[in-house]
Amino acid sequence: MSKRKLKVISGATAVKSCRVTAVGMEDAPDDRKHQRPSSSSLTPSATGDIGVIESITLKNFMCHHLLGPFQFGSNVNFIVGNNGSGKSAILTALIVGLGGKATVTNRGASLKDFVKTNENAADITINLKNRGPDAYKRDVYGDCISIEHRIFSDGSRNCRLKSKSGQLISNKKEELTGILDHFNIQLDNPVSILNQEMSKQFLHSKSESDKYKFFMKATLLEQMRRDYVHIKLTKTVTRQQVERQEESLKDLKQEFLQKKERYEKLPSFSEIKVVLENLKKAMAWCLVKEKEQLVRQLKEDIENEANNYKHQENLQLCQTKVTQVEKKLQCIKSRVTSMKKEQESLSKDNLNLKEQVKAISKAHKEQELVYFRALNKLKQSEQEQNLLEEKIKKAKTSASLNNEEETEYSAQQKKISSLKEQLAELEKKCSQLNEEIKNKHQALYKGKEERDKLRLEERNIQVLYESKLRRKNQVLASRSNKLKRFGDHVPDLLGAITEAYATGRFLKRPVGPIGACISLKDPMLAVAVECCLRSFMKAFCCDNYKDEVVLQELMSQYYPRGNRPQIIVSPFSEKVYNIHGRKAHNQEYPSVLDIITASSPVIINCLIDMRGIESILIIREKDKARRVMQQGRPPKNCREAFTVEGDQVYPNRYYTSDISMAKYLGGDLESEISMLESDLENHQAQLSRFQLHVTSVTEDIVSMESELNSTIMTLKKTLVSVNQVKAAITELENAGEEHIDDISSLEEVAQENRQKIEAEKQTVHEAKTELDNHQRTAEDIESKYSSVRDRIDQLSEDTEPLMDEQLKLEAECAKHKRTLKILENKLKAHEDNIQAMRSDITQREEELQEYVAKATEISPERQQVTRSPKSIDAEITRLQKKLEVYESNHGEHEHVVREYAEVLTLYKEKTNQVRDLRRFIDRLDSIMSDRQSRYKTMRPSRSDANYTSTTF
């Protein structure tokens, strides 16, 4: 990832004091500092050349691979740059590089937090000017002091102080402290170094007492007051210790007198020692004799075990039985296998025949349907022929109709034709109206669908608008209280938890929310971490279920049911889990566990249990994430990964993040507020556009409904006219039904119908023949299918007894094999026992040799012992106790002499120490009284001077 460029702007219009000041556009909002008055003997150029920072170089510090070297001017310097470009890193490196603690920087809890991820160490090089009459060891360091600081990933560090030529002068912390004191560089003084948190606290504070406290701290009066209090407390403790030393001195004097008395009355006890030495020699050879008897017994036991062949015989007999059963089992298995193969073959034939039976049966049913359909058609044609013949007979008998009736019939036919034309026009009009109604229905449906869709989108935008508005209010509230990022009620809830814990309602105080208890080593990965943890950012941790019940009760006062933060119950531990075998292994990409730090091991353990953060990698680029996780085997123990945009990557799928900005871990509140305000304006504009569009669509829907109702009324009127015309046509047709049909045309129709009946009879005969063929084929296939089924059933019946016998033989074989295994184990145990006994006897023989060697050292000549070791040991114990009693009463000669000399020396030293401490305390009392009176005089004057200098 490319790093942003830094700009260092030097001004030549101000004079720099001898204090070290570093100002960043991000870390110190106000660069104005009160300069201390310089001595009249120093010129401005001289004061500017003492302790001024010439340059600084950073390597692998925080999230930067290499920064610098930055050359600073001799006066005021301004460092500007975009967020993440390294302004805060430079200020933090100045504090750490000059020996400051990590907590002073407000950027990390430990020095290891400043080492870049996946790096072993970070380097800081600072060059200080050392010119002028007040230079520090000018002859040793020269015109420039180079401070090289190295911070290791385990939290340790070392410092090397070099001269201008690069020669190593010292690597001790005391030397660096001396340089800082000489140049008056105060790392913890806000006048020298004003970090971001201290500046916010100072600027936002409206209390005069807070500003006075800031003044006390800046002028070191507060430090002086604490030193005085500490000295008083130390003096009181020292006085108490002196009093206790005086009390113990009395006891020491009494002990000295006792030692002196024992020293003067020291007796002799050499005779008891001689007897005790003789007993020890006898005891040594007695133990040798006991060991020799044990070795002989072991040899006899080994010989008896080696001549026992019972286990080999049982093993051979069992192996014979196993071989016989396996032969029978193999024969049964071969018969069962052949039957199963035949059964599988018949099963395939059975399936084929079954499919053929289904196909033939289907074809038979279809042909049967064709046959009955043709037969019904033939019967219908014959009935029509009978009706035609009757009609012809009636027509011939009615041939005497007159001409007037024929004229009336013609007039009716003309009127019917006219009405039919009118009916056709009306039906055409109805069809057009129906089509028009259908189109208007579709248009109305589309309009309502569009309106519903617009209303749904409007509601979604309204919900999004309200969510952004709530988020904006939370961010605005979090300016003064970061906990409000996690909910408006979180500060009140934490206050209730603290109060409940103080009253003893909790066994262990719950921890949370988790997001407020963690911080990132790289702030640019905030979106990735939040996408990984999701709902766990607002969760709480409890040690036990009793505490969970109490916490649920407290949450019910601030949250409705179903909308409460998650509670995770797990026993608290003071140490982080050992995840050495479960952690994802990749040297290039860190895991989520590597990039977060927590205020308590409970948080880390909870995230390991619930989310498995040790097995989730952070891979910044999307392409690299896809290549690492999906193009090949993922890293060991890695189950998923996240990109810097929050995309979630699995070995077989990829999810794009719906979060564009960190809600809980983000540090730039103003940027987030501006983005939220911009989003709110966009959503408000979208809501206005949607409301106008919905209004327009609603008006169109009302207009279309009006036109549709008008068209429906027109259609109803047209249908009434159609029904009237149809009724008139029906009436005229019924009146003309009695007209005599044309006899010749009826006879022609009858002749055509006879030919049609002959053709249909031929079709029925052919269909009947085809149906009989299908019937015979179906019977043949059914017969084959039944025979195959009978054979399969027969094979199943024959296989069952063979399978039962196979199971019995397998059970018997398994039983014999288990017995064989047991016998093999017994034989092996027997052999191992013999081998162990042989090893034991070898060891016993070696021990015997050692005992003989030791006994020879104690007494070169072997002694014949008749007593048992127990009686000799009892005699030795008795004499030792007697000797101890004798020594306790009188003591050893050397020991008594040594104790007397030690007590005499200690008594003299303690007496001198008490006398010196008394003198020191008295002198300290007089010094403290004088200095405290001066402090009380100086404090008001400094306060008035500061008030005068800071009044605008």
Which DSSP letter does residue 111 get?
G
Give the angle 334-339-345 at the CA atoms, nearest 5°. Answer: 130
With the CA atoms of 212, 215, 217 and 223 taken in that order, what torsion angle do they form, in degrees rounded to the nearest 10? -90
**With b meaning 16 or more CB within 10 Å and e meaning fewer, what string describes 504-531?**
ebbeeebbbbbbbbbbbbbbebbbbbbb
Share of the chain above pLDDT 70, in %: 82
pLDDT tens column, 599-626: 889 999 999 988 899 999 999 898 888 8
Is residue 232 within 8 A of residue 928, CB to CB? The reply is yes
Is 948's pLDDT higher than 50? no
Higher pLDDT, 48 or 769: 769
Q: The tokens of 613 are what?
A: 């953060």
Provide the CA 743 distance to its chain's centre, in angstroms.
100
Is residue 77 within 8 A of residue 130, CB to CB? The reply is no
Residue where the block lists tokens 């006048």: 191
pLDDT tens column, 928-942: 787 777 767 766 655
Give the angle 150-152-153 at the CA atoms, nearest 5°. Answer: 150
pLDDT tens column, 858-888: 777 776 777 777 777 777 777 777 667 666 6
The pLDDT confidence band at residue 763, using thresholds 50, 70 and 90, is: confident
Is 48's pLDDT higher than 60? no
Quick one: pLDDT at residue 31? 37
Q: For 383-404, what is the mean pLDDT?
A: 62
Going along 595-729, which residue ranges are E strands?
596-598, 616-618, 640-642, 648-649, 654-655
pLDDT tens column, 577-602: 888 888 888 888 899 988 899 888 99
Is 705's pLDDT higher than 90? no
Going along 85-190, which residue ranges are E strands?
121-130, 144-152, 157-162, 168-170
Quick one: pLDDT at residue 125? 93
Three-state DSSP at 689 gives: helix
pLDDT tens column, 335-377: 888 887 877 887 777 788 778 777 877 777 777 777 777 777 7
Pairing of strands 648-649, 654-655: antiparallel
Burial class (CB in 10 A: 0-12, 13-18, 19+), 60: buried
Is residue 806 within 8 A of residue 336, CB to CB? The reply is yes
Pairing of strands 596-598, 654-655: unpaired
Q: Which residue in 150, 146, 127, 128 sits closest to 60, CA to CA? A: 150
Q: The tokens of 76 are what?
A: 């005021």
CB atoms < 10 A from the CB of 598, how many? 19
Q: For 775-804, what is the mean pLDDT?
A: 77
Is residue 3 within 8 A of residue 86, CB to CB? The reply is yes
Q: How many residues does the chain have?
A: 952
pLDDT tens column, 246-266: 777 777 777 777 766 666 654
Q: Which residue in 147, 115, 114 sits closest to 128, CA to CA? A: 147
Is residue 149 within 8 A of residue 157, CB to CB? The reply is yes
pLDDT tens column, 150-198: 999 888 888 999 988 888 888 888 888 888 888 888 777 777 777 777 7
Quick one: pLDDT at residue 10? 40
Residue where the block lists tokens 């070392």: 158
Higher pLDDT, 163 or 487: 163
Quick one: pLDDT at residue 481? 60
Burial class (CB in 10 A: 0-12, 13-18, 19+), 756: middle
pLDDT tens column, 105-118: 777 778 888 888 88
Q: Which residue in 265, 98, 66 sits closest to 173, CA to CA? A: 98
Quick one: pLDDT at residue 34? 35
Which DSSP letter does residue 863 get?
P
Q: Which residue in 811, 668, 946, 743 sits closest to 329, CA to CA? A: 811
- What are the φ and ψ backbone dihedral angles of 408, each rounded to 5 degrees? -60, -40
Q: Which of 325-329, 400-404, 521-525 has the lowest mean pLDDT?
A: 400-404
Which DSSP letter does residue 99 get?
T
Quick one: pLDDT at residue 539? 92
Task: Say how far apart CA 287 and CA 295 lie, in whole Å.
Answer: 13
Quick one: pLDDT at residue 950? 32
Provide the CA 604 distance to its chain's centre, in angstroms.
10
Going along 456-535, which residue ranges are E strands?
518-520
Quick one: pLDDT at residue 38? 36
Is residue 42 within 8 A of residue 107, CB to CB? The reply is no
Is residue 814 within 8 A of residue 358, CB to CB? The reply is no
Q: The tokens of 788 are what?
A: 């195959």
pLDDT tens column, 905-919: 777 787 888 788 878
Q: The tokens of 296 are what?
A: 């002989």
Q: The tokens of 891 are what?
A: 């003591």
Q: Which residue in 895, 843, 837, 810 sits closest to 326, CA to CA? A: 810
Higher pLDDT, 820 or 476: 820
- pTM for the full predicted model: 0.32
Is 62's pLDDT higher than 60? yes
Q: CA distances (Å), 319 to each of 82, 733, 759, 807, 821, in order?
A: 85, 110, 88, 20, 10
Tell me what percent of the chain is helix, strand and coil, each rounded to the nearest 5.
65, 10, 25
**With b meaning 16 or more CB within 10 Å and e meaning fewer, what string describes 118-144?**
eeebbbbbbbbbbbbebbbeeeebbeb
Pairing of strands 596-598, 616-618: unpaired
Q: Which residue in 655, 629, 626, 624 sits closest to 640, CA to CA? A: 629
Task: Say how far apart CA 528 and CA 648 lie, in whole Å.
Answer: 9
Task: Say how far apart CA 81 and CA 85 lie, in whole Å.
Answer: 6
Burial class (CB in 10 A: 0-12, 13-18, 19+), 214: middle
Is residue 154 within 8 A of residue 66, CB to CB? The reply is no
DSSP calls for 513-578: -GGGGEEESSGGGHHHHHHHHGGGGG-EEESSHHHHHHHHHHHTTTS-TT-SPPEEE----SS---
Three-state DSSP at 173 gives: helix
Higher pLDDT, 8 or 89: 89
Three-state DSSP at 138 gives: helix
Pairing of strands 596-598, 64-71: unpaired
Q: The tokens of 131 are what?
A: 């010119």
Q: Which of 327-336, 387-396, 507-516, 698-707 has the lowest mean pLDDT?
A: 387-396
Query: Going by C-beta distance under 8 Å and a sequence separation of 6 or more, which residues neighbour residue 841?
Result: 295, 298, 299, 302
CB atoms < 10 A from the CB of 271, how many? 8
Helix ranges, 859-892 (H): 869-890
Average predicted confidence (pLDDT) for the chain: 76
Q: Which of 179-183, 683-687, 735-739 has the lowest mean pLDDT?
A: 735-739
Three-state DSSP at 130 gives: strand
Residue where the block lists tokens 């015997």: 848
Task: Say how far apart CA 100 and CA 124 lie, in whole Å.
Answer: 13
Residue where the block lists tokens 């003492």: 50
Task: Say how far apart CA 432 and CA 438 lie, in whole Å.
Answer: 10
Pairing of strands 518-520, 121-130: unpaired
DSSP calls for 335-354: HHHHHHHHHHHHHHHHHHHH
The pLDDT confidence band at residue 27, using thresholds 50, 70 and 90, is: very low
